[in-house]
Structure 1
Amino acid sequence: MKVNKDFVVGFSVTFLIPFLGVIYTFLKVNRKNYNMMLANIFLFVFFITLNLYPYQDLYRRYIETYYIYNSQTTLTQAIDGHVDFTFYILSLAIKKIGIPFPFLPAFMSALSVTLFIKSILSGVNELSTDRVVKWVVILGFLLFPTIQLALGVRWGMGISLLMYGYFSLYNKGKKFFGLTVILISILTHFSMVIIVPVLISASFIRLNRFSFLMLSIMSAFLSTTLLPFLLSKLGILGSYASVGYGSDSELNEVGNLNSIIATGIGFVYTAYFTFLVMIKWKLVESEYYLKIRNVALITFVFTCLSAISLVAFRRYTNALYFLFIVCVYFHYCLHVNSIKKMVVMVSLFAFLFSGLFLQRRPILLSELWKGLYTPAVFYSLLTTEKYNSYLMKIDDDGDWKGNKINK
């Protein structure tokens, strides 16, 4: 395989000054070299998230895995009580090898971003121009909630694996690979099991705009009876799936005003990209595009079954379905070779508001901006002892002692 010159330059610069490396990558990526250039984006995200403190969900993952594991911990003990055991196995593995914990969530976060963008780029065809490829890479990077999903590392990795499996499944000759990736996504986060009924339904149903709307409304209304019934029939798996969304008193907890606003804006992003797909309904006739669009919409129909729980519905809608419908829309862009200015503006706003402003606590706590200019060699100084020292700033709920979130 011929190594691209722009890839080598970008790779080298990313090791020295990550921010300049990723900017160079965005400027030079095109339809011929995007597979190689994604490695530079992987490196950039890896170096940035390597600086993350064990905050919120990442704190809980650390405390219940790597922190308590020792040389006597067995694989059976590590995965005991977990259906989605991928993270626990990996955490035990790096503990045994002697790799500090932060390298694991950084690797998973970088891989998540890369797989998401690669899912988008699976729509590149012989008619796609370098300009549009460049834009979908940049906008895909801006729209992916990197820091948020790095903190919820199992959830973020599960989503990206699921999406990559989705798109691989419908690529010619990649069905076995796609199904394997989907299985790994379920073993990473059990919530991804939603794909099973979605794929079965997609084999028999092709939604149009009207049926999509009607079935979504119907699913939302049936959620109070149908979802509890289905979970009760799954026995241990049903009970396990229910636990992740809290007790009955927590199912519809809306949080404070800031949380309500953030959730509402997340719904607006999702509705916006869904609207874009709807108004362009008949403009692309590619069978591949029609299949992935159908699966994405059926995913939302099943997502509406979780409307009984605001927590579950918010997570599925503003993360899994949102990223999926974004991918579908960018596939459309790759087919028609056009990116609307409004989409660029929405993506930039999403990055600045949801990606940076709403994540200001972990950014300030971890001083993530240092990762923009810190050469890679300095990360060799990161040790478990240093990472454990971060715990002095974190309380038992995984919150920042110096800047607590008002519940």
Structure 2
Amino acid sequence: MTPTTAATAPATPPAPAPAAESVFVRIPALAAKYGAVNLAQGVFDHGPDRALLDALAALGDGTEHQYAPSAGHPLLRAALAGYLRLHEGTPIDPDTEVTVTVGATEALHCVIAALVSPGDEVVLVEPAYEQYAPAVHSAGGTTRALRLAGPDDRIDAAALARVVTPATRAVIVNTPWNPLGRSLDADEWRAVADLTRRGVVVVSDETYEHLNLDGTPHTGVLAAVADPELRVKISSVSKSFAATGWRIGWAVAGPELTRRIRAVHQFVTFCPPTPLQVAVAAVLRAPGTPAVLERRARDLRARVDGFVADLRAMGLPATAPGNGFFVLADVGEDAERWCDRTIAEARVAALPMSVFYADPPAAMATTVRFAVCKRQETLDEAVRRLRRHLT
């Protein structure tokens, strides 16, 4: 592991609403057009764990099918507070510190809208998920990037501090990290948390928190930052429970910051689907849920390891993630061209790493990302198609 050789980028002005499609819209559409196996998007090709479906089926008629309180159903907020205390050792007040949203994406937008005013800056640590910059720009803010040049780079405290200005309001991190497949280590957390001494709020996207394939416990912002008004944890059931379509997410912050997040949320979606909130609450409270998540991580580990071995056998240097389900591979040529051609010719969709950067570093120009959150037979078919194409 090497210290970061990251480049810092100047602040970029707010952009108008983007005219181009999101890559997560364009690539799946191309995959559907060509009948390709879609390994570009982190969406499962199977249903969620039986526990979620059973909890949903157990609901009867009545009030659980009507509006819930905008901040979230009391059962789910209480279940989340208990779950966070159990898994992260942090006491959370469900009435004043938890907001339930329509997925982690809405949580992110509500958090940024609550924090950022025109003229404020937000630091993004790249590679960064494509939703981060638009959320900042829609609030009238600007972004500054700390760019990691490669998967072995680390967030360096001095480089991070150089990106921060008096206008910096927040920093957004993602741990476990999409697409790098690792979590922030202790030194990186210290570098990020140190920004709070300058009043910078740490917004941590932790949607892959239970997919620790290497067996290490999750360490997130609740443990790294002591002041609840200077930290926000964002997560959801989408990845951990293989339920991306349920759109149940949450933001956890101090009472004053939560009040502002809720003030935004109430005028965006008001509340997520009530039956799904109640079902998620039941699963989070179930004593068998930790074992379910451990089994899912073991299953993913086996699929990831097998897929990496297959790519390497085809001559594609691939890296197995320690967290999440994204496999990075060097295709030896421009990754964007390779992905477009492979969709049409091999009928397999992957994602170029360039989409995670405002200004992609040279080291990432030939790297693609495969989402391996699929059934084994789906991965086997993708391997067969790639093997025919490459040989």
* Same topology, TM > 0.5: no
Structure (1/2) with the larger helix percentage: 1
TM-score (norm 1): 0.29
TM-score (norm 2): 0.30
